């Protein structure tokens, strides 16, 4: 598959290292000792991972008999590959990227769909006339690549455009400078990160920060081409081990508590992220925490439950949307145990029994004031 460099890197890494060879993990707490666990994050420390940080800080993993170490991500780190290689016990990864790696041989299973909604935007200047995917025709369209562009291609295709000829695709950096300098007409942005970076930038014409009125947003949820993002992935082969099954339920139970804590204590989780050395500051991380909470809550079925309709949409788009060279994310429907709700359902019940609100029906987002540079 030639769909992205990320996928190729993942395949090469798997070919070099073979399949998972993690030693059998003992039953958590069975001997009274904490079971060491490694969770591979998919990016640098930021509020996107606030729930996991909170679960460590608040002792939620420890009370489950787990000693969890968070592995920071980065540009060259592919979480699902790290997991498949046995270098982590669980990993956080977007669903289409992980499914592409599964098709190439990674033995991984989605056991907890933490983000129920996509946070991906395509952002343009308000005066550009770009309001929908169809308006991207003839424009310079930025994207990050590495498998982050699937929703964009799906939106372009649904609008009746050819990603290979009707738009000029430009690989942008992981910031918004290309849009701010008007080198591209539309830029990829996450609602919780890069979009905030625009609003943290100073408008040289006014000396004040830009506002939402300065930009237009294409939200792939509105366009009908959104795909599932942050999920907890486990090692498929090890899920046949009762000890790993038990450990997975415990890990997910504590993770649920962590995210519920960040829903109810956004500023405290902001502080945890900043204390971990986040690359952007306090106002940015509070914005991010608030926006991430929007992607999780409310969760009518309980946080982490894989919604079959959303899963099917993600898979269908992955199989049918072509990129600029005609490749698709997936060549066929995922085989084997691509996802399971077995463990998250048990975790939800255990969290509920402990008094945790796993639905967040009353959640209301806050209004966050950003400062220049996100300080």
Q: Does a structural domain hold residue 30?
A: no
Is 235 in the same domain as 204?
A: no
Is 248 in the same domain as 346?
A: yes
CATH of the domain at 175: 3.40.190.10
pLDDT tens per residue across span 349-364: 999 999 999 999 999 9
pLDDT of residue 7: 40
Is 180 strand, coil or helix?
Answer: helix
Is 95 in the same domain as 173?
A: no
Is 234 in the same domain as 331?
A: yes
Instruction: Find the DSSP H helices in the chain.
Output: 5-17, 50-57, 79-84, 95-103, 150-158, 177-180, 194-199, 220-223, 242-264, 266-275, 282-296, 308-320, 342-353
Is 151 in the same domain as 189?
A: yes
Last residue of a domain, one of 219, 242, 260: 219
CA dihedral 36, 41, 44, 46 (to 10 degrees): -90
Q: Does a structural domain hold residue 28?
A: no
pLDDT of residue 239: 98
Domain count, the chain: 2
For residues 314 and 325, is the Cβ–Cβ distance under 8 A? no
Is 270 in the same domain as 300?
A: yes
Is 112 in the same domain as 126?
A: no
Token duo for residue 319: 């199989």
Per residue, the 3-state secondary structure of 198-251, as one string, reads HHCCECCCCCCECCHHHEEEEEHHHHCCCCCCCEEEEECHHHHCHHHHHHHHHH
Q: How many other C-beta atoms can be found within 10 angstroms of the C-beta atom of residue 18? A: 11
Q: Does a structural domain hold residue 22?
A: no
Q: What is the pTM of this model?
A: 0.91
DSSP lists the bridge partners of residue 332 as none
pLDDT band of residue 31 (cuts 50, 70, 90) is: low
pLDDT band of residue 61 (cuts 50, 70, 90) is: very high
Is 231 in the same domain as 179?
A: no
Least confident span in 1-15, 42-56, 328-342, 352-366: 1-15
Residue ranges making up the domain that contains 310:
35-117+227-354
pLDDT of residue 148: 85
pLDDT of residue 10: 40
- Classify residue 91 by its DSSP letter: E
Is 106 in the same domain as 241?
A: yes
What are the two backbone dihedrals, phi and then psi, of residue 28, each rounded to the nearest 5 degrees? -60, 130
Is 314 in the same domain as 182?
A: no
Last residue of a domain, one of 195, 219, 243: 219
pLDDT tens per residue across span 267-306: 999 999 999 999 999 999 999 999 999 999 999 999 999 9
pLDDT tens per residue across span 236-248: 999 999 999 999 9
Is 342 in the same domain as 284?
A: yes
Residue 17: pLDDT over 80: no
**Mean pLDDT across the stretch 143-159?**
90
For residues 119 and 173, is the Cβ–Cβ distance under 8 A? no
Q: Does a structural domain hold residue 279?
A: yes
Is 86 strand, coil or helix?
Answer: coil
Is 129 in the same domain as 102?
A: no
**Strand 231-235's sheet: what is its strand order?**
66-71, 35-40, 90-93, 231-235, 108-112
């Amino acid at each position: 598959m030639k769909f992205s460099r990320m996928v190729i890197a993942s395949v090469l890494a798997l070919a070099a290292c073979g399949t998972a060879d993690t030693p059998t993990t003992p039953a958590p707490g069975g001997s009274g000792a904490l079971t060491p666990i490694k969770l591979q994050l998919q990016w640098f420390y930021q509020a996107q991972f606030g729930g996991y940080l909170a679960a460590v800080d608040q002792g939620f993993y420890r009370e489950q008999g787990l000693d969890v170490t968070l592995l920071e991500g980065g540009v060259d780190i592919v979480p699902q590959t790290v997991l498949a290689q046995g270098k982590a016990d669980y990993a956080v990864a977007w669903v289409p990227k992980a499914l592409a790696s599964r098709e190439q041989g990674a033995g991984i299973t989605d056991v907890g769909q933490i983000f129920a909604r996509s946070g991906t935007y395509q952002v343009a200047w308000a005066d550009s006339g770009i309001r929908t995917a169809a308006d991207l025709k003839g424009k310079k369209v930025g994207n990050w690549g590495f498998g982050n562009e699937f929703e964009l291609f799906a939106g372009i295709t649904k609008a009746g455009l050819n990603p290979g000829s009707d738009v000029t695709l430009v690989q942008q950096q992981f910031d918004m400078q290309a849009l701010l300098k008007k080198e591209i007409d539309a830029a990829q942005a996450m609602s919780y990160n890069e979009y905030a970076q625009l609003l943290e930038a100073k408008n040289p014409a006014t000396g004040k920060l830009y506002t939402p009125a300065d930009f237009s947003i294409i939200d792939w949820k509105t366009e009908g081409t959104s795909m599932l993002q942050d999920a907890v992935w486990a090692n498929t082969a090890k899920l046949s081990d009762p000890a790993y099954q038990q450990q997975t339920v415990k890990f997910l139970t504590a993770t649920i508590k962590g995210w519920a804590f960040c829903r109810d204590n956004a500023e405290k989780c902001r502080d945890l992220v900043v204390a971990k050395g986040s690359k952007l500051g306090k106002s940015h991380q509070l914005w991010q925490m608030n926006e991430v909470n929007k992607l999780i809550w409310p969760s009518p079925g309980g946080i982490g439950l894989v919604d079959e309709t959303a899963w099917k949409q993600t898979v269908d788009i992955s199989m049918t949307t072509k990129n600029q060279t005609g490749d698709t994310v997936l060549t066929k429907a995922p085989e084997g145990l691509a996802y399971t709700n077995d463990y998250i359902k048990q975790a939800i019940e255990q969290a509920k029994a402990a008094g945790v609100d796993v639905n967040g029906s009353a959640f209301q987002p806050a209004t966050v004031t950003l400062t220049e540079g996100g300080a």
